[in-house]
């Protein structure tokens, strides 16, 4: 199916403009991101939308005209209920800028003989929490970079609830850190490299998509992933050699 630009009609002008601002300009974009995700992003951006907008997005993505029958509507309602949290993420340049701060902390961990993972917590354009892995130094499996960043940020804000904050971490969180992140109600988690052995944001399991856990955090991976992976490779190579 050829990509067809999104137009008004059938979409309302404000809906079309909001989709363009989200980077969804044609039916190919809509198919890639899925109608359910696009609909939830519209809501997250502050636009007032009803189910009829979702039905329009579905029809556009599927290249159809007309309407959805009751069974189809029920299917898409179920997809919305099961959908993981969504959010508009910062521009790539901004995300990379914060991630480089986390990578500097990962280098410090590497120099100290720790698994090289770093994390920074950002609130209103300012770093309010920093952390680097320190399990060896502290003789505790709890001293992961994410936990340190969460702890410092909580002390800065005077609250363990960190809604409105973004956490940048150089490696996909494990289940322990993912649980702490969700308990903190962090708005957005941005990580660099995936962790195929213990990752709890989609690699091994996805706690952030488990509705039984009442998730609130939207997740984005792959920001400066190669730089993070190189640090990890260096660490494990040195361990094998030494």
144 is in an annotated binding site: yes
State the DSSP code for 212: G
Is 123 annotated to bind ligand?
no
d(CA 205, CA 65): 38
Nearest to 192 by CA among 163, 156, 219: 219
User: Of the candidates 195, 187, 164, 167, which has an alpha carbon nearest to the alpha carbon of residue 98?
Assistant: 167
Catalytic positions = 146
C-alpha to C-alpha distance for 23 and 197, rounded to whole angstroms: 33
Tell me the backbone φ, ψ of residue 178, rounded to 5 degrees: -60, -40
Binding site as annotated, residues: 144, 174, 177
Binding site as annotated, residues for Zn(2+): 144, 174, 177
């Amino acid at each position: 199916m050829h990509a067809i630009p999104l137009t008004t009609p059938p979409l309302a002008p404000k809906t079309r403009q909001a989709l363009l601002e989200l980077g969804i300009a044609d039916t190919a974009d809509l198919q890639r991101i899925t109608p359910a995700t696009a609909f939830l992003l519209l809501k997250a951006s502050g636009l007032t939308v009803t189910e009829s907008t979702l039905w329009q997005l579905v029809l556009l993505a599927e290249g159809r005209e007309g309407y959805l029958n009751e069974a189809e509507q029920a299917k898409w309602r179920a997809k919305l209920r099961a959908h993981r949290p969504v959010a508009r993420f910062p521009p790539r340049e901004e995300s990379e800028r914060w991630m480089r701060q986390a990578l500097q902390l990962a280098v410090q961990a590497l120099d100290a003989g720790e698994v090289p993972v770093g994390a920074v917590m950002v609130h209103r354009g300012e770093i309010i929490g920093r952390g680097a892995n320190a399990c060896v130094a502290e003789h505790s499996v709890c001293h992961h970079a994410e936990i340190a960043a969460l702890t410092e940020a909580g002390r800065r804000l005077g609250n363990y609830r960190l809604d409105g904050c973004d956490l940048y971490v150089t490696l996909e969180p494990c289940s322990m850190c993912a649980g702490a992140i969700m308990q903190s109600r962090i708005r957005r988690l941005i990580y660099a490299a995936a962790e195929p052995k213990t990752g709890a944001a989609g690699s091994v399991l996805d706690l952030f998509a488990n509705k039984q856990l009442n998730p609130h955090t939207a997740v984005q991976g792959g920001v400066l992933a190669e730089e993070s992976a190189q640090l990890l490779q260096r660490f494990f190579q040195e361990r094998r050699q030494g």
